[in-house]
């Protein structure tokens, strides 16, 4: 989407709010790896119609996919179960209509490999090195992207997409493609950052989640309710949680750092002179930070299930 675009990429409506500039990007990186691709931090936009938030401008999705293809298999590889995987398994047990599961953006197949052996496991992954790692675990790769799915070709009991949809510039066609791979009565289970959690509402465009160039769209439960209606589905379950194991002291430290960073940016917007900023307690230190502090301990994600229309 270009800076001149005036339409929501999900619903196509022009009723947009410009929430202001996003944090500086992690310089020269994509997926945590060095890159020569040119990115702009851009502005955070919000659609009043469907509640999607998105980066404007962002690279076209075709260019983003090419960047994912070249990532090494170490980027999102996990040697230990993620703290939200047990919830994913419980939701699979409850909502899958048969024991076959497709993980879109499966990377090395860590989640699928962790699932009990009773599940028939398939994946979609664009990163070439990660595809090879997944195949070495006897995971059937059925495509590079969701666009490789043909309607009626598969009948999965459930389709997973964890930490994927925020990487897409046009999310609704993506969900339609996943829906086409479901068996009758099957469900989509998605995990992503949540703009309707208190950390997002407190820090808004200054939140750390927007500092990654690969994060281009941002979601709330209301958006998924809207999207489910477009698909003829319903939100049958929604859980808010952290993407990391919670450590109270680390959570407080990260919250304090992010608060000071945000205050510093606000003071700059209010045109407080830089020499004054550098003399203020705490703010003086934050004034030298070149990137937003991470706050990965917060319960700032949601796991949502889209199931048959009730």
The confidence score (pLDDT) of residue 151 equals 73
68 φ/ψ angles, rounded to the nearest 5 degrees: -65, -35
Residue 295 above 50 pLDDT? yes
Q: What is the pLDDT of residue 27?
A: 65
Three-state DSSP class for residue 9: coil
Tell me how far apart the alpha carbons of residues 239 and 227 are, in angstroms, rounded to a whole number. 17
Q: What does the pLDDT average to over 209-235?
A: 96
Strands (E), the chain: 16-21, 29-30, 33-34, 43-47, 53-56, 100-104, 120-124, 140-143, 156-162, 182-193, 217-218, 233-241, 301-308
Beta bridge partners of 17: 46
Q: If you search the block for the tokens 């046009």, which residue do you land on?
A: 170
- Report the pLDDT value the prediction gives residue 3, as an integer from 0 to 100: 40
What does the pLDDT look like over 133-153, one tens digit per residue? 999 999 999 999 999 998 778
Q: pLDDT digit string (tens) for 38-77?
A: 888 999 999 999 999 999 999 888 888 888 998 888 888 8
Residue 227 in contact with residue 306, Cβ under 8 Å?
yes
Whether the pLDDT of residue 204 is over 50: the answer is yes
pLDDT digits (tens, 9 = 90+) for 83-108: 999 999 999 999 999 999 999 999 99
- HEC assignment per residue over 281-292: CCHHHHCCCCCC
The first and second tokens of residue 219, run together, are 């979601």
Give the per-residue pLDDT at 116.
97
pLDDT, one tens digit per residue, over 6-35 is 899 999 999 999 999 999 887 678 888 888
Angle, helix 171-179 to helix 221-231, in steps of 10 degrees: 50
User: Listing from the earlier edge strand, what are the strands of the sheet with 140-143?
Assistant: 140-143, 120-124, 100-104, 156-162, 182-193, 301-308, 233-241
| Rounded-to-integer distance, Cα 235 and Cα 80, Å | 29
Q: Of 166, 200, 223, 206, whose CA–CA distance to 43 is shortest?
A: 206
* Sign of the alpha-carbon torsion through 276, 278, 281, 283: positive
Q: What is the mean pLDDT of residues 242-254?
A: 90
What is the per-residue pLDDT for 143? 94
Residues in the chain: 310
Residue with more model confidence, 117 or 33: 117
CA-wise closest residue to 146 among 103, 91, 190, 183: 103
pLDDT exceeds cutoff 50 at 261: yes
pLDDT for position 118: 97
Residue 140, SS3 per DSSP: strand
Domain map of the chain by residue range? Answer: 249-286
pLDDT band of residue 5 (cuts 50, 70, 90) is low
Q: What is the pLDDT of residue 1?
A: 45
Q: Is the separation of the CB atoms in 1 and 54 below 8 Å?
A: yes
Question: Tell me: the pLDDT tens digits for 149-186?
Answer: 987 789 999 999 999 999 999 999 999 999 999 999 99
Over the chain, what is the mean pLDDT? 93
Residue 281 near residue 219, CB atoms below 8 Å: no
Cα torsion angle, 54, 59, 63, 67, sign = negative
Q: Can you tell me which residue has the tokens 């897409």?
A: 168
Burial 241-264 (b: 16+ CB within 10 A, else e): bbbbeeeeeebeebbebbbbbbeb
Q: Two tokens at 99?
A: 């024991």
Asked whether residue 2 carries a pLDDT value surpassing 70, the answer given is no
Kindly report the pTM of this predicted structure: 0.94
Residue predicted with more confidence, 194 or 24: 194
Instruction: State the DSSP H helix or E strand holding residue 82, giving kind and residue range, or none if neither.
Output: none
């Amino acid at each position: 989407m270009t800076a001149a675009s005036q339409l929501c990429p999900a619903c196509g409506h022009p009723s947009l709010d410009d929430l202001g500039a996003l944090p500086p990007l992690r310089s020269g990186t994509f997926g945590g790896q060095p890159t020569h691709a040119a990115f702009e931090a851009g502005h955070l936009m919000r659609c009043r119609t469907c509640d999607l938030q998105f980066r404007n401008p962002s690279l076209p999705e075709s260019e983003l996919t090419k960047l994912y293809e070249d990532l090494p298999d170490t980027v999102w590889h996990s040697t230990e179960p993620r703290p939200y995987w047990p919830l994913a398994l419980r939701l699979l047990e409850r909502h899958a209509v048969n024991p076959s599961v497709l993980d879109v953006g499966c990377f090395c197949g860590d989640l699928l490999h962790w699932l009990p052996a009773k599940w028939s496991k398939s994946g979609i992954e664009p990163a070439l090195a990660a595809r090879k790692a997944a195949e070495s675990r006897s995971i059937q790769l059925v495509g590079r992207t969701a666009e490789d799915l043909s309607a009626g070709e598969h009948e999965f009991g459930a389709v997973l997409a964890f930490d994927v949809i925020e990487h897409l510039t046009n999310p609704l066609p993506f969900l339609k493609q996943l829906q086409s791979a479901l068996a009758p009565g099957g469900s989509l289970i998605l995990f992503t950052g949540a703009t309707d959690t208190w950390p997002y509402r407190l820090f808004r465009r200054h939140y750390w989640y927007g500092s990654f160039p690969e994060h281009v769209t941002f979601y709330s439960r209301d958006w998924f309710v809207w999207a489910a209606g477009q698909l003829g589905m319903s939100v049958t379950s929604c859980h808010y949680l952290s993407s990391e194991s919670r450590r109270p002291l680390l959570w407080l430290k990260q919250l304090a750092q992010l608060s000071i960073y945000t205050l510093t940016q606000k003071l700059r917007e209010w045109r407080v002179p830089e020499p004054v900023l550098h003399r203020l307690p705490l703010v003086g230190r934050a004034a030298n930070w070149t990137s937003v502090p991470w706050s990965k301990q917060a319960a700032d994600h949601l796991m949502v299930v889209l199931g048959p229309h009730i």
